[in-house]
Structure 1
Amino acid sequence: MTSTLRKANAYYVILIAGAAALGGFLFGFDTAVINGAVLALAKAFNTTSWVTGFAVSLALLGSAIGAFFAGQIADRYGRVKAMVVAAGLFTLSAIGSGIAFSIWDFIFWRLLGGIAVGAASVIAPAYIAECSPSHLRGRLGSLQQLAIVVGIFIALLSDYFIAVSAGSAEAPFLFGIAAWRWMFWTAAPPAVFYGMAALTIPESPRYLVAQGREPEAANVLSKILGGDVLAKIEEIRQTVMLEREPKFSDLLGRSGGLLAIVWIGIALSVFQQFVGINVIFYYSSVLWRAVGFSEKDSLTITVITAAVNIVTTLIAIAFVDKFGRKPLLILGSIGMTATLGTMAFIFRTAQLDAAGNPTLTGSAGIVALLAANIYVFCFGFSWGPVVWVLLGEMFNNKIRAAALSVAAAMQWIANFVVSTTFPPILQYFGLGAAYGLYTIAAAISLFFVLFFIRETKGMELEQM
């Protein structure tokens, strides 16, 4: 009977964690869906490369804003209500981006979607952690990262089918409306579903205890843990009483500057973006078309790359506790340096066509394609998920929340910088120069890990 009850509890927790992780799915979907629409968008609104890069990446600044304030909203109004608000913003952004009349109102709708992405990136992991029993917390927490990469894959897959069905992203699709607009509208149904799913799951028991709603908390905990939950209620109550709201002044040392560990967290976040990974997911169809692949083939390659990302995330989830954080980061940095360097060399030495774009002849195209996917593989088992693992455990209890918010905000800002600068670098200096810069960042990241990162495998959070 106890075993049956435990299974029922586990299924219930998986169900509610899965509903919360839909925020991660939309996080990935929203950030990647623009991939297949970039060139069509630029032509529709006759934008320069700088404005195109700005339109693609401004959503990332919105994400920094959403992440910064989501915690406060969730603490005041509850995790579930915050999820419903994020779902509403996702829906509005999807509809608005598709009906945009100019590049400037398009930017507004993307900014709105960015705020929802940032909120989802904070709320879903917090809710899952607070609702998970200790023996399931690690695996359930990984649902968020898995949901993100699956969202990226589905977005790119939908871009592919829409573009192929219409003939191109610029061509008319259903009801004579341009295909690129439908690419954004495909985000609306999952956003609505996310909001509906959020309304069916219980509020976090930790939030309920903090609000003095202990009978409701006991009811939720009985479904999660089973048996007598009064001791757990008392444990949560004592924790809530001892806690105070984190302050950013906690991050300052005696000299007035940021603590060294905070700088290390910021550097981890910045290097994760400066190796250029999001160029692959935001601009890969542009990249492959620039070197001679057709639109259909470019989108096919992009979908394959996203599938590789899912597989490597599963690998990281399986081995991060076995091999440790530092070895995976070292292997990832070495692999990324080699593959990015290969792509930089190939694109730098490629012949140019009449329009000034590199053309890959002979085996060069195959080598570039393999290098790009091996690069994603190297990132996917290392710097992608492991940075988030380290940021969650490297700070001590006193500064964890505040330090995480600073590091996460810097990650979104670094993402913004890379995504905004790629189109003009591509236009004025070429792909070889772009990949050369990312190669340098990957090489520096290796030495950063060797000299500054401490292994945290097997350590208790109280030991940090």
Structure 2
Amino acid sequence: MGTTLGIFMGYCVCYGSYHNYSDARQWRIPVGLSFAWAIISMFGTILAPESPRFLVQKGKIEMAKESIAKINRAQNNSTIVLDELNNLMEAIELENQTGKPNWKEFFTGKPKIFFRVTMGVVLDSLQQLTGNTYFFYYATSTFKSVGLTDGFMTSIILGVDNFASTFVALYIIDHLGRRKTLMSGSAGMLACMAAYSILGVVALYPKEYGVDPKKPIGDAMIFFCCLFIFFFATTWGPGVYVIVGESYPLRIRADAIAIATAGNWIWGFLIAFFTPIITNVIHFAYGFVFVGTAAFELVFVFTCVPETKGMCLEDVDELYEHFTPGLAFRTKQTAKNNT
């Protein structure tokens, strides 16, 4: 939510500075405010409590207990604080016994570590391949062709949509579960992107691209774009980070998440770099690429992503002990039978 709020605020600042100034303040104000937020974050980090995990590793148990209590707004000796402290102590003791993870473990570790890391990379990559980057980066130029000429206003419209939709995500991810959330989001994005692309290719321009677009068709395309952002922001936007964060044991969790995130940034760069080149050639037909990736997302989540709702990291390890890649849709029943 903080990320989408920051994006929206950035759009508003750029809109205000562009429309109110005609000199260097157009770029100095947005950049200056970025420095201001960085300074606030720096001081906030100084005032934040130390990581309980770090304190336990250093043997400062009482300080770790106080840090956990402060984070959870609970008493030092409350059940939630003591349980979390014991879990941390057990996990760190296990790490001390087995040693630090090495790269070989990512390929041979159990249960199914290689599959879990690969799944994280694919999910993070597919988050970019949903087509959200296509709209967020290039909606300005796209909407100009359908009659909305103020690119900064376009950004604000998408920013409001993105930010408001995040509130819905807080509810559905925990109530629908991770798998249903991602699959419903893929289905919604597929339908919206297909409608958007078909309208752009078939109906927007009566003769050729760039000549007198039909405004009602353009308005319909803007609607499907905003609806697409809603489906993304309520499902794949935050949902991927939830699943990836829940899929690894503490021993390799940080490294595995970093590897998965690398897939996200690589595809983000590739889409940002190649989109203007591709759209100059095939125009709105580019959307059909993302229709295909949305269909693949549905299949991948249905077959390869088990449900981790309500599980601690230890339960997830047990889940993968009985998990068969390609049969994620049967994992719940299998786990039930094993218990």
1:333 aligned residue (169, 172, 186): 186
Asked whether 1:364 is paired with 2:213, we answer no
Which TM-score applies when normalising by structure 1? 0.60
Paired residue total: 305
CA distance in 2: counterparts of 1:291 and 1:452, whole angstroms: 39
Is 1:436 the equivalent of 2:288? yes
Gap change, CA 1:335 and 1:237, over 3 Å in 2: closer
Deviation at 1:403, TM superposition (A): 2.4
**Aligned partners of 1:223 and 1:399: how far apart in 2?**
27
Q: Give the structure 2 partner of residue 151 of structure 1.
A: 6
Q: Kindly report which structure 2 residues correspond to 1:10-25, keeping only aligned pairs within 5 A, or say none.
A: none
Q: Is the 8 A contact 1:321 1:457 kept in 2?
A: yes
Deviation at 1:245, TM superposition (A): 2.9
Q: Which residue of 1 aligns with 2:128?
A: 273
1:208/1:217 contact within 8 Å kept: yes
Give the Cα–Cα distance (whole angstroms) in 1 for the partners of residues 67 and 302 of structure 2. 45
Which one of 425, 439, 446 corresponds to residue 298 of structure 2? 446
Q: Note the aligned Cα RMSD (angstroms).
A: 2.7
| Letter aligned with residue 280 of structure 2 | Q
Aligned to 2:158: 305
Gaps of at least 5 residues in structure 2 are 317-339
Q: CA deviation at 1:260?
A: 2.5
Deviation at 1:460, TM superposition (A): 3.8
CA–CA distance in 2 between the matches of 1:156 and 1:375? 19
The CA distance in 1 between the partners of 2:211 and 2:121, in whole Å, is 36
Does structure 2 conserve the Cα–Cα contact (< 8 Å) formed by 1:272 and 1:384?
yes
User: Which runs of 4 or more aligned residues in structure 1 lie more than 6 Å from their structure 2 counterparts after TM superposition?
Assistant: none
Match of 1:351 among 202, 205, 220: 205
Q: How much does 1:340 deviate?
A: 0.7
Q: Cα distance, 1:345 vs. partner?
A: 1.6
Cα 1:448–1:211, aligned 2, differ >3 Å: closer, same or farther?
same
Counterparts in 2 of 1:283 and 1:320: CA distance versus 1, 3 Å = same
Deviation at 1:333, TM superposition (A): 1.0
**What letter is aligned with 2:198?**
F
Checking the alignment, whether the CA contact within 8 Å between 1:285 and 1:299 is kept in structure 2 is yes
Aligned pair in 2 of structure 1 residues 211, 180: CA closer, same or farther (>3 Å)? same
- Give the one of 142, 145, 168 matched to 1:315: 168
- Structure 2: distance between partners of 1:324 and 1:195: 35
TM-score, length basis structure 2: 0.80
Q: Once the 2 structures are TM-superposed, how far is the Cα of residue 418 of structure 1 from its aligned partner?
A: 1.0
- Which of 271, 280, 296 does residue 418 from structure 1 map onto? 271
- Choose which of 186, 205, 211 in structure 1 pairs with 2:33: 186
How far the C-alpha of 1:370 sits from its partner, in A, is 0.5
Q: Distance in 1 between matches of 2:131 and 2:70?
A: 44
Correspondence 1:226 to 2:75: yes
Residue 277 of structure 1, CA deviation = 0.7
Judging changes above 3 Å, is the alpha-carbon distance between structure 1 residues 149 and 217 closer, same or farther for their aligned structure 2 residues? same
Q: Identity of aligned pairs, percent?
A: 26
User: In structure 2, what is the equivalent of residue 110 of structure 1?
Assistant: none
Matches within 5 A, 1:260-299: 260-295=115-150, 298-299=151-152
2:61 and 2:178 mapped to 1: Cα distance? 38
Q: Is the 8 A contact 1:324 1:455 kept in 2?
A: yes
Deviation of 1:381 after TM superposition, in Å, equals: 1.5
Residue segments in structure 1 that go unaligned for 5+ positions in a row: 1-145, 167-171
Note if contact 1:316-1:382 (Cα within 8 Å) is conserved in structure 2. yes
Corresponding position of 2:230 = 377
**Does the Cα contact within 8 Å between 1:275 and 1:442 map onto a contact in 2?**
yes
Is the 8 Å Cα contact of residues 247 and 402 (structure 1) preserved in structure 2? no
Distance in 1 separating the partners of 2:85 and 2:179: 37
CA change 1:234–1:340 in 2 (3 A) is closer
Q: Is the 8 A contact 1:208 1:216 kept in 2?
A: yes
How big is each residue's C-alpha offset from its partner over 1:361-389, in whole Å with a ceiling of 9 and x where there is no partner?
Answer: 13111101100000001111111111111
Q: 1:366 to 1:337 in 2, by over 3 A?
A: same
Query: Partners of 2:213 and 2:16 in 1: how far apart?
Result: 26
> Structure 1 residue 163: deviation in Å?
1.9
Q: Identify if the C-alpha distance between structure 1 residues 359 and 436 changes in structure 2 by more than 3 Å, giving closer, same or farther.
A: farther
